[in-house]
């Protein structure tokens, strides 16, 4: 599977700092944007934690499919779907943990949009999309941009 990717992040006209963090992890076919919540304390910290946790989880489970996960999977979801959901849940848990340890970071948060491309034997490539919050994923196919 060949994947071409590009990201653009801009602080915009309302804010002084950019709280976005990107995850580009082609070895596991995972691409994500985490947008620290504007107006909340330490949004850039939350988005950084999320990017790091998702990457570490995909790296860990990519090396050992039988690894023990921090959350129970949903039997109605595929392995790859559970992997994406668990990565986001783990990131959320770490953000909460960090915010509880440091009062200055209380209420920090981030949105998340993640695409995980999977290719299992007998099936063509699929794109699994996971998101939390109001950030969007767009599909560009045959010259058309779709939300």
pLDDT for res 10: 76
d(CA 51, CA 30): 11
| Residue 72's CATH number | 3.60.40.10
Residue numbers of the domain that contains 108: 20-146
- Find the angle CA(92)-CA(98)-CA(102) to the nearest 5 degrees: 145
Instruction: Name residue, tokens 């129970």.
Output: 72
Task: Tell me the two tokens of residue 103.
Answer: 């009062």
pLDDT for res 7: 79
Q: Decide if 80 is inside a domain.
A: yes
Task: Tell me the two tokens of residue 69.
Answer: 């996960």
Q: Dihedral (C-alpha) 8, 11, 17, 22: value to the nearest 10 degrees? A: -20
DSSP 8-class letter at 105: G
pLDDT for res 95: 95
**Structural domains counted in the chain:** 1
Report residues of the chain scoring pLDDT below 70: 38-40
Instruction: List, in sequence order, every residue forming a beta bridge with 118; answer none if it has no partner.
Output: 126
pTM: 0.88
DSSP 8-class letter at 68: P
Q: Decide if 63 is inside a domain.
A: yes
Q: Decide if 27 is inside a domain.
A: yes
Q: Decide if 5 is inside a domain.
A: no
DSSP 8-class letter at 121: T
């Amino acid at each position: 599977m060949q994947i071409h990717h590009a990201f653009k992040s801009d602080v915009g006209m309302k804010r002084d700092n950019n709280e976005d963090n990107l995850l580009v992890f082609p070895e596991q076919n995972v691409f994500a944007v985490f947008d620290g919540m504007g107006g909340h304390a330490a949004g850039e910290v939350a988005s950084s934690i999320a990017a790091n946790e998702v990457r570490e989880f995909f790296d860990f489970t990519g090396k050992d499919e039988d690894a023990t996960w921090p959350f129970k999977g949903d039997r109605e979801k595929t392995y790859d779907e559970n992997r994406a959901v668990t990565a986001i849940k783990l990131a959320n848990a770490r953000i909460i943990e960090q915010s509880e340890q440091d009062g200055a970071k209380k209420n920090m948060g981030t949105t998340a949009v993640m695409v995980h491309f999977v290719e299992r034997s007998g099936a063509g490539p699929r794109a699994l999309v996971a998101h939390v919050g109001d950030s969007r994923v767009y599909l560009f196919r045959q010259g058309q941009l779709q939300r």
